[in-house]
Amino acid sequence: MKKLIIKIAINAIALYAAIAILQNRGITPQNENWLSFIWLALIFGIVNVVIRPLLVVMSCPLLILTLGLGTLIINTAMFVLAGWIGTQFNVGFTVDNFVSAFLGALITSIVSFFLTIIFKGQMESSRH
């Protein structure tokens, strides 16, 4: 349970960073309170667990052909989809163009990567 809470917090912080950096540069959040980002992180996590694996399997030839760079496009699609689903619950964001979506997904991935490294010990200790 502790691991799940940490992962949701990491996603919320990563999404906040991406949206804050790109706000007024192609991304417009509906709400800017922390509860909205926690709900958005839950939506983002569900999208990544349910839909992302399907897209990866369906685009396997493309991923092989591009040596994995196609994963960036899949991450961009997951970022936009999570934002759109979030807007249905008034906690999401709108994306004006592909470049903003791509940069948002990239920032989210980078921040999430580093926060996961920082909190790795706490997530592993929650297993025991």
The pLDDT tens digits of the residues spanning 39-87 come to 999 999 999 999 999 999 999 999 999 998 999 999 999 999 999 999 9
Domain boundaries, the chain: 2-123
pLDDT tens digits for range 100-111: 999 999 999 999
Q: Which residues contact 103 (CB under 8 A, 6 or more apart)?
A: 18, 22, 26
pLDDT of residue 128: 56
Match 């959040």 to its residue by tokens.
29
Q: How many residues does the chain have?
A: 128
H helix or E strand, kind and range, residue 116: helix 98-118
- The model carries a pTM of 0.90
